[in-house]
Amino acid sequence: MTPISPPAYEHATRIRCGGGPITEVDAARFLTQATFGATVDTIAELQELGTYEAWIDAQLALPQSLTRPYTVENSNGSNRGPRHQIFWRNAVSGPDQLRQRLAMAWSELFVVSDIDYELRLAQYAISGYYDMLGEHATRTFREMLEAVTLSPVMGIYLSMLRNERADPERNVRPDENFAREVLQLFTIGLDELRPNGTPRKRKGKPIATFDQHTVEQFARVFTGWNLDGAAWVSNDLTKFDKESPMVAVAEFHDTGLKELLGASTPHGASAEQDLNAALDDIVAHSNVGPFIARHLIQRLVTSNPSPRYVRRVGEVFDDDGSGRRGDLAAVTRAVLLDREARSGHLTKPRTFGKIKEPIMRLTQLWRAFDVQPGPASDGVLKTPPKVVDQLDDLLGQAVLRSPSVFNFFLPDHSLDSDSGLVAPELAIHTDINVASTNNLLFDSIHESNNTTPAGQYATASRISIDREVALAADPADLVDHLDLLLLSGSMPEAMRLALVEHLSSLPDTPDGRIQRALDAVYCTIASPLHLVQK
Amino acid sequence: MNGHDMSTPPTMSRRTFLQAAAAGLTIASLPGGFSDAAAVSTGPRSLVCIFLAGGADTFNMYVPLRHTEPGQRHDTYSATRGHFAVPRRSLLPVGDGSFGLHPALPGLAKIASSTRTGFATVSNLGPLAVPIDKADYRAGRDVPQSLFAHDAQQKLWQTARSTLTSDHGWGASIQQAVAANADVSPSFSVNGTNAWQSAAGSTYASLSPNAPVARLRGYDASLRGWIPSFEGVESVMRTSIRAAEASRNVLDQAAGRVLQQSIDTTTALEAATGSGADDEIGMGDLANDPLALQLRVVARLVKNRQALGMNRQIFFVRMGGWDTHRNQVALFPQLLGQLDRSLASFQTSLDGMGVANSVTTFTATDFGRTLTINGDGTDHGWGGHAFILGGAVRSGEYGVTPSYATVNNPDDVGDRFDDFAGRLIPTTSVAQYGATLARWMGLDDHQLDDAFPDLANFDRRDLGFL
């Protein structure tokens, strides 16, 4: 696969993203969108590099941090812990931060979840699926969609696996699960969209992109696929290969003519031919550009992009500058380099931004303060009372473990009752999740001050606030530093004053400075401002 | 339309008869009179919604046994459902034996045959604004929006509408009508956000069954030993919340609200519930079951409702896994078993606390599933069955039993093997179902019409099971 050469993203850089050197605040904002959290070092590196384009290029050229090898080595296939351990390790310290962030973003579109009882036993395959999404972040959408469609993990999750053509004698019809969700959730959505992502209307009402008839046609397309090497009928899937792409079994494929969205498949086509035609048909739909643009913008940058922003990114999806459709690296560049991403906090101060996902809040803390696994923990990140593979109890989310195919939150979850704005991540910030996440952050911060860790605390991960303790002699400096690192410079003046005043009230002694550092870090990260990414 | 159309009178249990008699009502005045008397009661009442996520195959949860009308006979059902059909001899007969429960629901069967707790079924229920027939459906008249799509149908069920334009759940309507001024919202979800409890100006507490209710550190004075500078930290935190709420950015404002609500809820709940005696609530034997864990949280809050000053409570719990497109023969009984054990355990807990008469539990789901099968599973349908249990419930079958036939089925949206075969047009609307439950919680006719705007399009405003 040849790397994408500069002309592919020139189209994106024609979008102005402001000139001049990258300030600290600019860098912190960008890194909050493009990584799992800014650090003092990465801010400095980005400023040194001088352009966001160069940073993105360098990032996408790095080798991918995988999850599968670690999972294979440390899990027996059904033990769930390892794939989360390696996710957290990659998110916190993997050099390929952008690709890691993209993998998570794509996993929230092409959702599978090991809440499903069969997938729970297929940890290697799920890790492989996650890595596949990360790898395809720099391929085309058509390639990603095909890899997802033929993945046994998806085949199991949305029951395309062993889907059979109709048999009237046994009152059997093809399974519609994947056919419906591939259209509704993965590619075009329920309503016709304009290029800017707003719904088209006819007589004031949205226009449906497909109806039940279409679903049934696609259901017939996706018939006759099985695990490589398995018989068609068997109850126990555990012993079969769930990682190689599914293979076609002609006997169970419906070869009749099918009417798709734009085209029809001819009578007599094979399972492979029909599948290729169907995926081509879906990807050609004009909704896909704005649909995918919106998804990526919402995961990385802002919940309520302006229609123009969506259209600009959608246009790059349609044509990356060299005639290619669905060039996902170009789309990524378009999302991050757009003027709305770079300065929306200034041009749209009322509505720009998004609520952070809970995972991000913890990765930010751990990255910014250089977390280390506990001495007795075998290199595994852990925070009492939970190991990282149980953190979804406290945070409300874990990758590839959402309650359903609808991810942890819906893209149209309302911000409030009257503004018409959305804030998807608010759905996951329940009263209890907010409290338990806050307490998790508190515990993690104060653990750094535990000089005699014992019992479960001997395995607990520890951040370092030495740098902050050194700054604590001057509360204003300390607060500015944390404002940049954790809030990208968005701390309100009233809060700054109150925090500086409080820190100044603590003694300027060795112990006092530790107390100042602890309080400053906690107050900053526990404030509502840290819930928001602008 | 006022009044209660009792053309299909419910089975009168001995218990409800005695209650009605004690209330001084004559048998003749019972149909409407009993419900009104119940609404006047001022004792506490709690309503529990069990949402079966994914669209449960409710047509196999209870099955006609003795119905003789064409289309409603067991052999018709059996022919349609092929190897998914539950044989007559396996069904657990309920009440007068006109229907039977799936054999994986022995706990519910036992509840249904007890005199202490009522068990009612409502047949072929779904989102519907106005009664329609097959011709209407084919012509696209008054057909609910986005049928057969999970999230859309969950929303229609939870808002009791036929279009997706409302963000006002009927659970929230109940809360607003009967508990508008509560300091701590008496509306609890133990399974995340949902449209049923959501509405402008109304909040509900979202609890986790896995993590205990703990106050936020930083606002918990009991941590003074740990944070020597507690007062200062708390003061900074309060300032930051006020600053967020005063920000011109709407996300900041929302974040401020979210944090403040979390503080308020956890403070109130921790104070009222503590780490109390599990013995009184029980349910310890199913401690790892996700649904049982949620219901245990509900039981605890019901137990503490007086301490919390709550005369009315609304609960939402959810059980997933019902979207049985494949492997249904293996999966469905497992799901039913889990549901059965959890509900039976919950009911036992309520009985033990002596509150069974004032807690009503009902099921809801995205949609029923197709009567016809796709080989090893079923697909998305529309109408489906539901059931309600509790001490105040009047046992019996409610709604209109549909036809289970695959040909000449007036309730099916299509013909055999054509488009849509096996998907039934509901014969009872969610609006009617919700209104019956809401009336028990104390809503008057005016409030019911506000909460269920489509109710006026149906003859029966109250299905009669409460």
Is the pLDDT assigned to residue B17 strictly greater than 50?
Answer: no
Q: Do B375 and A175 touch (CB under 8 A)?
A: yes
Q: B407 — contact with chain A (CB < 8 Å)? A: no
Q: B19 — contact with chain A (CB < 8 Å)? A: no
**CB < 8 Å to B149, chain A:** 180, 184, 190
B238 is written with which tokens? 């309060």
Question: To the nearest 5 percent, what fractions of chain B are helix, strand and coil?
Answer: 40, 15, 45
Looking at the DSSP bridge assignments, the partners of residue A206 are: A201
Q: What average pLDDT does chain B have?
A: 84
- In a 10 Å sphere around its CB, with 0-12 CB exposed, 13-18 middle and 19+ buried, how is residue B18 labelled? exposed
pLDDT recorded at residue B27: 30
Helices A24-34 and A328-337, packing angle to 10 deg = 140
DSSP-derived pairing of the beta strands B428-429 and B118-126? parallel
Looking at the DSSP bridge assignments, the partners of residue B380 are: B369
In terms of pLDDT, which residue wins out, B37 or B197? B197
Q: B106 — contact with chain A (CB < 8 Å)? A: no
Give the predicted TM-score (pTM) of the model: 0.77
Q: pLDDT digits over B39-53, tens only?
A: 335 699 999 999 999
Q: pLDDT digits over A409-463, tens only?
A: 888 888 987 889 999 999 888 887 898 899 889 888 988 887 777 776 778 888 9
Please give the torsion angle defined by the CA atoms of residues A420, A421, A424 and A430, in that order, rounded to the nearest 10 degrees.
Answer: -80
Phi, psi of A353 (to 5 degrees): 120, 180
* CA atoms of A524 and A368, how far apart (whole Å): 13
Quick count: other Cβ atoms within 10 Å of Cβ A54? 12
SS in 3 state form for A460-494?
Answer: CCECCCHHHHHHCCCHHHHHHHHHHHHHCCCCCHH
* Cβ–Cβ pairs < 8 A, chains A and B: 242
Q: B425 — contact with chain A (CB < 8 Å)? A: no
pLDDT recorded at residue A451: 74
Binding-face residues of B in 218-247 toward A, CB within 8 A: 218, 226-229, 232-233, 235-237, 239-244, 246-247
Looking at the DSSP bridge assignments, the partners of residue B364 are: B51
Q: pLDDT digits over B366-378, tens only?
A: 999 999 888 889 9
Which has the closest alpha carbon to B102: B450, B365, B340, B344? B340
Q: pLDDT digits over A240-261, tens only?
A: 889 999 999 999 999 999 999 9
> From the CA of B193, how many Å to the nearest CA of chain A?
6
CA dist B147 → A205, A435, A528, B126, B373 (Å): 16, 37, 39, 10, 18
Q: pLDDT digits over A365-405, tens only?
A: 999 999 998 877 777 888 766 777 778 777 888 899 887 78
**Percent of chain A whose pLDDT exceeds 90:** 74
Binding-face residues of B in 289-348 toward A, CB within 8 A: 320-321, 323, 325-326, 330
CB of B196 closer than 8 Å to CB of B153: no
Q: How many CA atoms lie within 13 A of B407 on its CB side?
A: 2
* CA atoms of A11 and B387, how far apart (whole Å): 59
> From the CA of B398, how many Å to the nearest CA of chain A?
29
Q: What average pLDDT does chain A have?
A: 91
Q: Which of A7-11, A401-405, B89-93 has the lowest mean pLDDT?
A: A7-11
Q: Do A528 and B255 touch (CB under 8 A)?
A: yes
Q: pLDDT digits over B297-306, tens only?
A: 899 899 988 8
Is the pLDDT assigned to residue A8 strictly greater than 60?
Answer: no
Is the pLDDT assigned to residue B8 strictly greater than 50?
Answer: no
Quick count: other Cβ atoms within 10 Å of Cβ A238? 10
Q: Do B216 and A429 touch (CB under 8 A)?
A: no
CA dist A370 → A6, A235, A464, A467 (Å): 34, 47, 6, 11
Q: Is B144 helix (H, G, I), strand (E, B) or coil?
A: coil
**CB < 8 Å to B150, chain A:** 404, 406
Looking at the DSSP bridge assignments, the partners of residue A140 are: A327
pLDDT recorded at residue A384: 67
Q: Do A115 and B320 touch (CB under 8 A)?
A: yes
* CA atoms of A380 and A169, how far apart (whole Å): 55
Q: pLDDT digits over A182-218, tens only?
A: 999 999 999 999 999 999 999 999 999 999 999 999 9
CA dist B262 → A520, B205, B210, B217, B224 (Å): 21, 8, 17, 12, 20
Q: Which residues contact B301 (CB under 8 A, 6 or more apart)?
A: B188, B273, B308, B313, B315
Which has the closest alpha carbon to A366: A19, A81, A92? A92
**CB < 8 Å to B252, chain A:** 353, 528-529, 532
How far is C-alpha A471 from the geometric centre of its chain's CA atoms? 34
CB of A413 closer than 8 Å to CB of A403: no
pLDDT-derived band of residue B224, with 50, 70 and 90 as boundaries?
A: low
pLDDT recorded at residue B222: 65
Which of A177, A418, A431 has its CB closest to that of B266? Answer: A431
pLDDT recorded at residue B272: 61
pLDDT-derived band of residue A178, with 50, 70 and 90 as boundaries?
A: very high
Is the pLDDT assigned to residue A46 strictly greater than 60?
Answer: yes
